[in-house]
Amino acid sequence: MVVQRLAEGNGITTPRLSLRPVAPENLPDLIALKADEDAFGLMLHGTRTPERTREELEDDMEFWLVRGYGTWAVYERATGDFLGITGLMERPDGRGVALRFALWPACRGKGYAREAARAALAFGFRRGLAQIQAVAWEGNVASRQVLVDIGMVECDEFQHRGRRMLLFRALPPEELSAG
């Protein structure tokens, strides 16, 4: 099956986490995560309906096939528990590839988002991406701190649904050291 081969070749293991490209078996976890206001309400477009989550999963799987990167389901290696998602996606506003992450609120303060986001960022640069963006609501201090901690720099801002959104950018490590 294509999805299984895809997952095997694009999985990431960190000291505490296992990141696997999203697949049909992730749908129940994704529906729960994306409907949870505390987990997904801070995302740019907010929580999702089950129908929208199903559509996004299909899009995410196709994106992996076309681009060779995409969204991973994040699991704790020690327990096998689903913690959330991280990923690299084309921004709909044409600003390029964006890093995103959303984990269960119970994961906060444990460094899981930082570990998963750092791994996704490194994967994108290994795939040859010239830069990676990320967006965080000004009031989402925790996500902003994760982005800064993994080496992203605030570079712009815009308004979305009455909120000030901050745009961050990272360049490949070799470009950072050359400057």
Give residue-wise pLDDT tens across range 138-162: 988 999 999 999 999 999 998 877 8
Instruction: Give pLDDT, residue 47.
Output: 81
pLDDT over 70 percentage in the chain: 92
Looking at domain 2-178, which CATH architecture does it have?
3-Layer(aba) Sandwich (3.40)
Q: Which of 143, 42, 135 is nearest to 93 (CA)?
A: 135
Percent of the chain with pLDDT over 90: 69
Q: How many other CB atoms are there within 10 angstroms of residue 57's CB atom?
A: 19
Cα 59 to Cα 55: distance, rounded to the nearest angstrom: 6
Mean pLDDT of 28-50: 85
Among left, alpha and beta (phi > 0; psi -120 to 50; other), residue 159 is: beta
